[in-house]
Structure 1
């Protein structure tokens, strides 16, 4: 159980990337009061939690309704996470986030950034949705599922803390240290993504072999 919790925690941390969300949030809420920043941070995390919880609980049924096998989703999700990892290593994801944030800042009528772009797609984006579905699919029994959900909620709480403390955190870390951390996390995510693909391929071949016999 401890191994599963640590693995899930690491996966959600590198995909959601609380330290990476913090500077974007700080820039988006530069003109807001302290109370407004806290309020939007809480709203963003609560909405993200709701989105991820829905996919955690009914994601597999949704795939079944669409005629998509869980193994196919594992492979596709693993490939997608691997691409995110490449972006992290080469700092492309940070650039895209900054570009998206700049577009929001250039739109005067947009004030509340809690739903877009913070909750979706920065926190509850394709990577985190794929991760929660993959980890829930690999869980055996209610206890393991609760461990995965506990890891997800832990990272969301950490994300909330990072958003609230975004300004001071950025001054503390600095751009260079943040870049190093992001690249290291990208390498870790690449390894986890590769494991998802291997699991999906292995299960697919096992199922195909069993069907032939």
Structure 2
């Protein structure tokens, strides 16, 4: 049980990438008051969680409706997650997220007084876009949730463990963003980038395992 939780948690943690979100959150919330930043840090992961849980619960039914087998989705999802891992290693994924942040409406404070006056109700930044979607609950996160769900679809206990791992990842994401909101000026973005790249290697390994498991299920490959 613990091994299953840790494996699924690692997948979600790497794909959602809360550590890599730290410098993006700093850029996105520049000029906002600490109160506004904290609200975004709580609401963003919460909304992302609603979206991801929806796909975790109803993803299998959606695939059935579309006529897509779970094995095919596992293989395709594994390939996509491998692409995500390579993009993380080459910083392409970070660059796309940075572009999303730069395209999002936000206001820089012109002086300390202006920063203090801003609050969650008056700022143009939304906890839905771009924080929840697509930075936290992006395509890769949605695919990973559905792949993990398809892998544990026949075992109710494993599905509950998967949901627990997802909730734990989003809770940790919220905690990290809250700490960033309070201590953002002291955050070492280079260290966050190093951790993200190391985690990308783990994601690449896990994504290959998903593909191999899918091929084994259709008899193309026999795993030892």
TM-score normalised by structure 2 residue count: 0.85
- Count of paired positions: 205
Q: CA offsets, 1:139-180, max 9 Å, x none? A: 2422211111111100100100111122525624x2322222
Determine the structure 1 residue equivalent to 2:114. none
Post-superposition Cα deviations, 1:172-205, rounded to whole Å, max 9, x if no partner, equal 4x23222221111111100011011111111123
Alpha-carbon distance in 2 for matches of 1:175, 1:143: 38
Shift of 1:107: 8.4
Higher helix share: 1
Segment of structure 1 superposing worse, 123-132 or 56-65: 123-132
Structure 2 distance, partners of 1:205, 1:85, is 27
Decide whether the 8 Å contact of 2:30 with 2:107 is kept in 1.
Answer: no
Q: Give the secondary-structure state (helix, strand or coil) at the position aligned to 2:13.
A: helix
Equivalent residue runs for 1:53-68 within 5 Å: 53-68=53-68
Match of residue 211 from structure 1: none
Question: Secondary structure in 1 aligned to 2:145?
Answer: helix
Provide TM-score, normalisation by structure 1: 0.89
**1:70 lines up with 2:70 in the alignment:** yes
Q: Confirm whether residue 132 of structure 1 aligns to residue 145 of structure 2.
A: yes
Question: Which position in structure 2 is the counterpart of 1:184?
Answer: 198
Counterpart check, 1:119 vs 2:113: no
Which shows bigger deviation, 58-67 or 29-38?
29-38
Q: Where in structure 1 are there 5+ consecutive unaligned residues?
A: 207-213
| Counterpart check, 1:205 vs 2:207 | no
How far residue 106 of structure 1 moved from its aligned partner, in angstroms, is 6.7
**Deviation above 6 Å: which 4+ runs of structure 1?**
106-110
Name 1:13's counterpart in structure 2.
13
Q: Which runs of 5+ in 2 are unaligned?
A: 109-121
Q: SS at 1:42's partner residue?
A: helix
| Secondary structure, aligned partner of 1:114 | coil
Cα 1:75–1:51 change in 2 (3 A) is same
Which residue, out of 169, 173, 178, partners 1:164? Answer: 178
**Cα separation, 2, equivalents of 1:205 and 1:141:** 22
Instruction: Calculate the aligned-residue CA RMSD, in Å.
Output: 2.0
